[in-house]
């Protein structure tokens, strides 16, 4: 299960750091009445009852001033990208202002569940009656358990996004293209293929699985097709066979959407058009043993990229659990579909890239881009 990222936002001196320390029962952040004490987001990975595995993030205030201040605000706002649940800490005495409302807008826009927490309830002030809100005193430690309970409920209700079943109706016929070449594992289907089939069956849709070599015949025989899902390596060939009116996508694109990294990956793939000669590209693979994968990552992909861009780049490669902590020297990261890596690991790699401002994409989406069909294969 993925670690829930819980981030505390709000104005300076609202008591974010005090509340984080109460929430985690740790002295994670420095508390002070000097506005702007927390200068960088502070992250802490922990197990917290009754919430399970979480990352708690304390942010600097979003109302900071001056040049340095605006950098801090920027950094705080960037934390929204990695936030699963937002806690908006408000000084009950000050109430909700423009800063809070613009944060609430940002959460709503990104569908991030949030709680408005009026802090300093120990002071003699009226607590505003606002939706999604509660009051606490970080100073006295009051309301903290209730806050945790509320967060626990949000975590429990967080719907994981379906892989494909929300894109089809019961009874829809979906053709899956699984090339059986030497890069296909012997005697089995890979995990994303199994997951797509399972999800379609659960929906009552009708998956029809074919090799690329039988795709044309299959399309003739089966009648109305809702969608074709292919291995992205076969994008070039398959996109020519599938009529334009039938939606086409790939297993890796559905997986990226499922993992919540599709937008980031599309942005990353579009970087291919902007890289300068000599730019540094990291190609990263989740598994160490699958020799043909390596061949794609270390040989085919660099060649396609050179061909597509007409430029030369400096490629680096990693595989398995090795993944650089410091990504800042790279201009682009291209990751495999990561079917062998845990969701948490994958999510954290993509988050790391966001945190360090490095564009990141995956093989399938990069291939779609280079085949000139990216717009088509993300149009479900
Ligand atoms: N009275 C009262 N003061 C608080 C409470 N929580 C925090 N403070 C005070 O508010 C100031 C700012 O707290 P801090 O946690 O550093 O706020 P941050 O800037 O939002 O991280 C400090 O002086 C805290 O002692 C509270 O619940 N009640
Ligand atoms: Mg602070």
The CATH number of the structural domain formed by 4-157 is: 3.40.50.300
Given a cut of 70, whether residue 230 has pLDDT beyond it is yes
Give me the phi and psi of 373, to 5 degrees please. Answer: -120, 20
Ligand 1 atom index nearest CA of 137: 27
Give the pLDDT mean for 34-44. 80
Q: What is the helix (H) or strand (E) element at residue 210, kind and residue range?
A: strand 206-210
Give the pLDDT band (50/70/90) at residue 293: low
Q: 10 Å Cβ neighbour count for 223?
A: 7
pLDDT at 229: 98
- What is the 3-class SS of 241-299, one letter each residue? HCCCCCCEEEHHHHHHHHCCCHHHHHHHHHHHHCCCCCCEEEEEECCCCCHHHHHHHHH
Residue spans per domain, the chain: 4-157, 166-254, 263-377
Closest CA to 345 of 317, 327, 322: 322
What percentage of residues in the chain have a pLDDT greater than 70? 95
Q: Higher model confidence: residue 347 or residue 262?
A: 262
Query: Tell me, what's the pLDDT at 68?
Result: 65
Nearest residue to 137 via CA among 13, 18, 29, 25? 18
One DSSP character per residue, 332-343 reads EEEE---TTS-H
Determine the atom of ligand 1 nearest the C-alpha atom of 138: 27
Tell me whether domains 166-254 and 263-377 share a fold. yes
Ligand 1 shell residues, CB under 6 Å: 10, 12-18, 31-33, 37-38, 61, 119-120, 122-123, 137-139
Q: What are the φ/ψ torsions at residue 298 (nearest 5 degrees)?
A: -90, -20
Looking at per-residue pLDDT, the higher value among 186 and 224 belongs to: 224
Give residue 213's pLDDT.
97
Nearest protein CA to atom 11 of ligand 1, as residue: 33
Q: Of residues 333 and 73, which shows the higher confidence score?
A: 333
* pLDDT over 80 (residue 245): yes
The pLDDT of 293-303, averaged and rounded, is: 84
Q: Is the pTM of this model over 0.75?
A: no
Question: Which fold is adopted by the domain 263-377?
Answer: Rossmann fold (3.40.50)
pLDDT in tens, 52-72: 889 999 998 888 666 666 777
Q: What is the mean pLDDT of the chain?
A: 90
Cα 326 to averaged position of ligand 2 atoms, centre (Å): 26
pLDDT, residue 26, reads 85
Q: Which residue, by CA, sits nearest to atom 14 of ligand 1?
A: 15
Mean pLDDT of 168-175: 98
Return the pLDDT at 2: 62
Distance of CA 17 from the midpoint of ligand 2 (Å): 4
DSSP bridge partners of 89: 10, 117
Q: How far is the CA of 138 from the centre of ligand 1 (A)?
A: 7
Q: Which atom belonging to ligand 1 lies closest to the Cα atom of 31?
A: 16
Residue-wise pLDDT tens digits, 115-144: 999 999 999 888 888 889 999 999 999 999
CATH number of 166-254: 3.40.50.11420
Of the pLDDT bands very low, low, confident and very high (cuts 50, 70, 90), residue 1 is very low
- Pairing mode of beta strands 173-177, 227-230: parallel
**Residue ranges of the alpha helices (H) in the chain?**
16-24, 66-79, 98-109, 144-157, 191-203, 215-222, 235-241, 251-258, 262-270, 291-294, 301-309, 343-355, 363-370, 374-377
């Amino acid at each position: 299960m993925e670690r829930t990222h819980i981030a505390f936002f709000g104005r300076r001196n609202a008591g974010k750091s005090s509340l984080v320390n109460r929430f985690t029962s740790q002295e994670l952040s420095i508390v002070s009445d000097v506005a702007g004490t927390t200068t960088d987001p502070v992250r802490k990975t922990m197990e917290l009852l009754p919430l399970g595995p979480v990352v708690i993030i304390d942010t600097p205030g979003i109302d900071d001033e001056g040049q340095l201040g605006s950098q801090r605000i920027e950094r705080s706002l960037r934390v929204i990208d990695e936030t699963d649940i937002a806690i908006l800490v408000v000084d009950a005495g000050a109430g909700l202002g423009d800063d809070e409302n613009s944060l609430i807008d940002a959460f709503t826009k990104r569908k991030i569940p949030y709680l408005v927490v009026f802090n300093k309830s120990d002071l003699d002030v009226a607590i505003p009656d606002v939706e999604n809100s509660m009051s606490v005193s970080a100073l006295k430690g009051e309301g903290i358990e209730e806050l945790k309970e509320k967060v626990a409920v949000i975590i429990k209700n967080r719907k994981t996004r379906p892989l494909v079943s929300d894109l089809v109706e019961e009874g829809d016929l979906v053709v899956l293209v699984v090339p059986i070449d030497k890069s296909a594992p012997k005697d089995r289907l890979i995990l994303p293929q199994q997951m797509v089939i399972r999800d379609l069956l659960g929906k009552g849709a009708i998956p029809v699985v074919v090799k690329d070599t039988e795709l044309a015949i299959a399309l003739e025989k089966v009648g109305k097709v809702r969608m074709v899902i292919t291995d992205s390596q076969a994008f070039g060939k398959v996109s020519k066979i599938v009529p334009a009116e039938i939606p086409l996508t790939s297993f890796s694109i559905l997986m990226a959407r499922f993992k919540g990294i599709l937008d980031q990956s599309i942005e990353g793939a579009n970087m291919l058009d902007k890289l300068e000669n000599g730019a540094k590209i990291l190609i990263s693979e989740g598994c160490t043993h699958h020799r043909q994968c390596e061949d794609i990552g270390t040989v085919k992909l660099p060649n396609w990229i050179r061909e597509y861009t007409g430029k030369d780049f400096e490629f680096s490669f990693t595989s398995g659990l090795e993944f650089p902590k410091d990504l800042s020297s790279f201009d682009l990261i291209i990751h495999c579909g990561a079917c062998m890596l845990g969701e948490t690991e994958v999510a954290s790699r993509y988050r790391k890239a966001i945190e360090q401002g490095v564009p990141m994409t995956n093989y399938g989406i990069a291939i779609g881009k280079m085949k000139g069909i990216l717009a088509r294969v993300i149009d479900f």
